[in-house]
Amino acid sequence: MHTKSLRELSSDLHAKKISSVELTQHYLDRINKFDKDLNSFITVTPEHALNLAKKADELIKQNKAGVLTGIPMAQKDIFCTQDIKTTCGSKMLDNFIAPYNATVVEKCNQAGLVMLGKTNMDEFAMGASNETSFYGPVKNPWDLSCVPGGSSGGSAAAIAAGLTPIATGTDTGGSIRQPAAMCNLTGLKPTYGCVSRYGMIAFASSLDQGGPMGRSAEDVALFLNVLAGFDEKDSTSVEREKEDYTKNLNNPINKLKIGLPKEYFTADLNKDIHAALDEAIKIYKKLGAEFIEISLPNSPLAIPVYYTVAPAECSSNLSRFDGVRYGHRCKNPKDLLDLYKRSRDEGFGAEVKRRILTGTYVLSAGYYDAYYLKAQRIRHLIRDDFTKAFEKVDIILGATAPTTAFPIGSKINDPVSMYLADIYTSAVNLAGLPGMSIPVGFQHKLPIGMQLIGPHFSEAKLLNTAHVFQQATDFHTKTPGGF
Amino acid sequence: MSVTKDDIHHIAHLARLNLDETRVPEYTQNLNNLLELVSQMEKINTENIEPMAHPLDGQQQRFRDDKITEQNQRDRFQKIAPEIVEGLYIVPQVIE
Amino acid sequence: MALDNWETVIGLEVHVQLLTKSKLFSGAPIAYGAEPNTQACAIDLGMPGVLPVLNQEAVKMAAKLGVSINATVNTRCVFARKNYFYPDLPKGYQISQYDLPIVSNGHLDIVLESGEIKRIGVTRAHLEEDAGKSLHEAMPNASGIDLNRAGTPLLEIVSEPDMRSAKEAVAYLKSLHALVKYLEICDGNLQEGSFRCDANVSVRKKGAEKYGTRAELKNINSFRFVEKAINLEVERQIGILENGGTIKQETRLYDSDKNETRSMRSKEDANDYRYFPDPDLLPVMITSEFIADIKNNLPELPDQKRERFKKSYAISDYEAVILSSSKEMADYYEATTKLADPKLSANWIIGELSAYLNKHSLDIAESPITPALLSGLLNRISDNTVSNNIAKKVFEKIWETKKTADEIIESEGLKQVSDSGEIIKVIEEIMKNNPSQLAEYRSGKDKLFGFFVGQVMKAMGGKANPAQLNELLKKHLA
């Protein structure tokens, strides 16, 4: 049951082979059984889920159901859910019951999706291993001693272990794609402005984008149909015609031009990952795609730029957590300054504090030009590199992450080495492009992800490219043992 | 450029963070490591390059009509507040 | 203190609360005096994940001001975050504008006491959101935070340091106040904080080129206090400088109860605001059509009104300046001119009516005598029903009773006597009773003419038509 695709689940529901309540219960049971080991959920909401499932069954009975009505899913705990705890993986929000729904949550509700609970994540989405969560690290279902990637590590682990068919993620520098790669999933970070950020707790506003995670490009396309769309509550949401992302999934790709950036295929690239990508390229060539070597000369700067811009924005975005109106407040503050400083010290974990300090520094008097402004100028150059590349090619292909899943604890004390996990992904956020990760093989039983990057609003093309590949391969159908 | 412990104290104050004194050397080292990583930016010539604050070009701010769309939800908002007296958020005395 | 050796330099920052229905970035209402925190929505409270969307009306209002001070309304402006922690600032940053404001490089002409016109530069005007309020009365050692005001649209209008005295500063403020009310972008209510002023004050030796170090005076909420606060600050600074001290750049609070300015400690360490473009908001692009639309719908401005008054109503410069000094004044005047003689209307509004309003501390909009009531009286002067002097008595009665001039003239029997026979009767009576004065007059003491006018008027209760009385008296005394 839990390995079925969304299409299969949908037709079972519509054919009344199974009810949404039964399906939901099935997943809730699995969460009960397996999540003690995985720690992929922060909050499980069985009652809420079964209520939604009942409503979904009613709609199915009345023939008023949509494609995804009655299908269980999980929300990353960064999306505000009305009357349900929303923690963002932080002690700061351990007591935070949001008084409103994020637009993404509203859209899922409208589509009849059944939320099973809220998934674990790096604190405020700051991390690449899910180890910075106040609620403890998430384990990778492929190897419980390894991280699932981050920051959407809970969503990734939950899908990989079959605790939910799909889940939302958010991606600021790679947080959907990198955990998708490490857990053998398909994850899409949409074009900036494609999915509403309203009610999604901000990390770095000009980089954050919510998106779908699932087992296949088709599942992700179906899910993106729900998530995407203009929202008047988000000034950065782009007003454009609604797309059906499943429409072009099966288009032939025999005229597709795929770019291989030479900066992504250097001697530094892990040999096994390189080999897996070479295999994938062969498959694409067989499918008729043409490969062109391209250059993204400024891509080595993506990490420095990203780790300047993202902390700058985060330092300001996280100022609202001050212990006054909601969230953690220290006991017996002796004065106002003490209230602020102690509440924030107690409420935030080490990585969040590091980023706030960095961001405050790069924006402060005397350093703004050398860091923040310089980074935003180089960001322009990085974006221009992509623009030029997309004059020659339709899609860019490369690795999603420099390594497969690494052991829990191996990088957490060396922040800079952890930051390098975003080396192939963060440029995409800086340029606001859509990018996705799909499974392309394994390195010692640990999944390898391949990244596909397209021009702005080329999600349908990316999904088509991924789907055609998945029709020709079976990497994405592999699941970890023991679940 | 390299930051000192004093710099960390100053930034921490600006950011209203109390830092555990024993961890200040670590935070100082972290920031210096990051700044070293980031220092690669210095080599890039960015003359005449506009800073890019938003990832999408040509987008402009949308306007909202001047309409009241929000109702009073004080009770709901204040249910999650640490301290309320007569509808006011309470903090230690503000000295002006 | 040798005040004469020093020159005062003043620049003003005025925060104008814009008259929108909803907030700058949220759909929460704006109303003064509501129950605490009942007008603050999730966006105003800085809840996690919520996002700002810009109110079009606020942009229009800012552009309106820009156009009417001959400034550049920038085709592209950007919102920036000003980062600092304060309990009345829910997000830990204020959304404001920094290096790319909506309005730059304008000017405002002010009329000095001498009647001379001085041009004051307006450096910029930018949109920003207001903060909430900290209330200190609620509990001992604690403050209560009311965020109703948080997110209210403000237009901060920053002048050049072009003013050289507290009086000029007040004149500038009054002109700006009149302008924003003319434009209907602000209710101008100083008590409620809709029009707030911070003054940057410095002094320098006369003839010096460099500006002195300035202090920023905050919290001045009346025109009278502006003058007082600036003068106090100027004296303080000159006192320090003459004693060999130096001025510290700081923020000072004016305390109207104690009539002193004092340093604000709370603002001391908050000056690294780490401005950067707000990533939640995109650049605001203002098209030439948008500006053209605003220009086409602009109301008549004070300067234009002044010129038109002079031309259409044949009134003096002085009268035109006063009558166009506020929208309410101008509206009152124009309403009156529709019903009565414009020149006479000007006289009475500037004279009698203003004196009464001053005495009762009323604004012209609150005048118990409406333009209709006033014009009713003025028309009785024009048609000689009452004399100017009697009219003043009638005016007082109208003020007290709100009855029409005709009703009062009728019930009090104040109608002017223009019947020659009746006047002659009284003249003859007075001549009979004052033989010695009559003889003196006739022997050449012309001054006594006034005496006879007075006597007749007195006998007739002031109701004699003055021109007619003069004529008849001359004939009879001769």
Instruction: For C71-98, write each residue's pLDDT tens digit.
Output: 999 999 999 999 999 999 999 999 999 9
Contact C87, C131 (CB under 8 A): no
Angstrom CA distances, B71 to A52, A97, A427, B87, stand at: 27, 19, 41, 16
Instruction: Determine the pLDDT at residue C287.
Output: 96
> What's residue B29's pLDDT?
95
B75 touches chain C (CB under 8 A): no
Q: What is the pLDDT of residue C318?
A: 87
- Does the beta carbon of A1 lie under 8 angstroms from any beta carbon of chain B? no
Which residues 141-180 of chain C have a CB within 8 Å of chain A? 145
Between chain A and chain B, the number of residue pairs with CB atoms below 8 A apart is 169
Angle between helices C448-459 and C420-433 in degrees, nearest 10: 120
CB A214 within 8 A of CB A220: yes
A151 tagged catalytic: yes
Position C170 scores a pLDDT of: 95
Looking at chain B, which residue has its C-alpha nearest residue A334?
B92
Task: Provide CB contacts within 8 A for A215, sequence distance 6+.
Answer: A3, A5, A159, A165, A185, A186, A476, A477
**Helix (H) or strand (E) segment spanning residue A42:** strand A41-44
Residue C221 has pLDDT above 90, yes or no: no
Cα gap C313→C320, rounded to integer Å: 9
- Between residues 23 and 82 of chain A, which touch chain B (CB distance below 8 Å)? none
pLDDT score recorded for residue C438: 87
How close is the nearest chain C Cα to the Cα of A202, in Å?
A: 6
3-state secondary structure chain C: CCHHHEEEEEEEEEEEECCCCECCCCCCECCCCCCCCCCCCCCCCCCCCCCCCEEHHHHHHHHHHHHHCCCEECCEECEEEEECCCCCCCCCEEEEECCCCCEEEEEEEEECCCCCEEEEEEEEEEEEECCCEEEEEEECCEEEEECCCCCCEEEEEEECCCECCHHHHHHHHHHHHHHHHHCCCCCCCCCCCCEEEEEEEEEEECCCCCCCCCEEEEEECCHHHHHHHHHHHHHHHHHHHHCCCCCCCEEEEEECCCCEEEECHHHCCCCCCCCEECCCCCCEECCHHHHHHHHHCCCCCHHHHHHHHHHHHCCCHHHHHHHCCCHHHHHHHHHHHCCCCHHHHHHHHHHHHHHHHHHCCCCHHHCCCCHHHHHHHHHHHHCCCCCHHHHHHHHHHHHHHCCCHHHHHHHHCCCCECCHHHHHHHHHHHHHHCHHHHHHHHCCCCCHHHHHHHHHHHHCCCCECHHHHHHHHHHHHC
What local confidence, expressed as pLDDT, does residue C418 receive?
78
pTM of the model: 0.91
**Which residues, in sequence order, are CB contacts of A73 under 8 Å at separation 6+?**
A108, A113, A114, A115, A116, A164, A165, A166, A167, A168, A223
A151, A155, A216, A458: the active-site residue: A151
Query: Do C78 and C284 touch, CB atoms closer than 8 A?
Result: yes
Residues 235-254 of A with CB under 8 A from B: 235-236, 238-239
Give the span between the Cα atoms of C106 and C176, in whole angstroms: 12
Under an 8 A CB cutoff, do B38 and A456 touch? no
Name the residue among A175, A252, A186 with its Cα closest to residue A219: A186
Model pLDDT, residue A140: 98
- Report the 10 Å Cβ neighbour count for C451: 16
Q: DSSP 3-state assignment of A368?
A: coil
> Which chains have 3 or more CB–CB distances shorter than 8 Å to chain A?
B, C
Which residue from A339, A356, A377 is facing B15, i.e. has the nearest CB? A356
The answer to whether the Cβ–Cβ distance between B96 and C269 falls below 8 Å is no
Mean pLDDT of C447-467: 86
Is A40 catalytic? The answer is: no
Contact flag B15-A376 (C-beta cutoff 8 Å): no
Q: Looking at CA atoms only, how far is residue B36 from chain A in angstroms? A: 9
Measured distance CA(A122)–CA(C180) in Å, rounded: 50
From residue C237, give the alpha-carbon distance in Å to each of A49, A257, C215, C254, C262. 69, 73, 9, 15, 12
CA dihedral B22, B25, B26, B30 (to 10 degrees): 150
A162 CB-near residues (< 8 Å, 6+ apart): A2, A3, A30, A479, A483
* Residue C459 CB burial class (10 angstroms; 0-12, 13-18, ≥19): middle
Q: Which of the two residues, A107 and C450, has the higher pLDDT score?
A: A107
Determine whether the interchain pair C22/B66 forms a contact, defined as Cβ–Cβ distance below 8 Å: yes
CA of B21, closest CA in chain A: separation in Å?
12
pLDDT in tens, C21-50: 999 999 999 988 899 999 999 999 999 999
Q: Which of A85, A205, A320 to mutate to test the interface with C (most CBs of C within 10 A)?
A: A320
The C-alpha of C182 sits at a distance from chain B's nearest C-alpha, in angstroms, of 20
pLDDT digits (tens, 9 = 90+) for C138-180: 688 899 999 999 999 999 999 999 999 999 999 999 999 999 9
Question: Chain B within 8 Å of A177 (Cβ-Cβ)?
Answer: no
Taking contacts as CB-CB distances below 8 angstroms, the residues of chain A near C131 are none
Q: In what order do the strands lie in the sheet with C195-205?
A: C72-73, C103-111, C117-129, C153-159, C6-17, C195-205, C215-220, C250-255, C260-263
Per-residue pLDDT at C269: 57
Nearest beta carbon to residue B94 from set C37, C136, C284:
C136
How far is residue A114's CA from residue A103's CA, in Å, rounded to a whole number? 15
Type of residue numbered A223: F
Q: What is the pLDDT of residue A120?
A: 98
Round the average pLDDT of chain C to a whole number and report it: 92
C142–B68 C-beta distance less than 8 A: no
Residue A33 a catalytic site member:
no
Distances (CA, A) of C232 to A219, C200, C260: 73, 13, 7
Q: Beta partners for A214? A: A186
- ipTM for the complex? 0.97
**Cis peptide bond N-terminal to A151, omega within 30:** yes
**Dihedral sign, CA of C314, C316, C319, C323?**
positive
Residue C387 binned pLDDT confidence (cut-offs 50, 70, 90): confident
CA nearest A368 in C: which residue? C274
pLDDT per 10-residue tile (average), chain A, 483 residues: 94 97 98 97 98 98 96 98 98 97 98 98 97 98 97 98 98 98 98 98 98 98 98 97 97 96 91 97 97 97 98 98 98 96 97 97 95 97 98 98 96 90 96 98 97 98 98 97 93
At A251, is the secondary structure helix, strand, or coil? coil
Judge contact between A356 and A314, C-beta under 8 A: yes
Element (H, E) at B14: helix B5-14
Q: Report residue C265's pLDDT band, with 50, 70 and 90 as the boundaries.
A: low
Query: Which of A10, A19, A76, A133 is labelled catalytic?
Result: A76
**Chain B touching partners, 3 or more CB pairs below 8 A:** A, C
Please give the structure tokens belonging to residue A118. 């809220």
Euclidean distance between CA atoms C194 and C130, whole angstroms: 11
Indicate if the pLDDT at residue C211 is higher than 80: yes
User: Which residues touch C87 (CB under 8 Å, ≥6 apart)?
Assistant: A322, A324, A336, B89, B91, B94, C134, C143, C145
| Chain B positions in Cβ-Cβ contact with residue A354 (cut-off 8 Å) | 27, 30-31
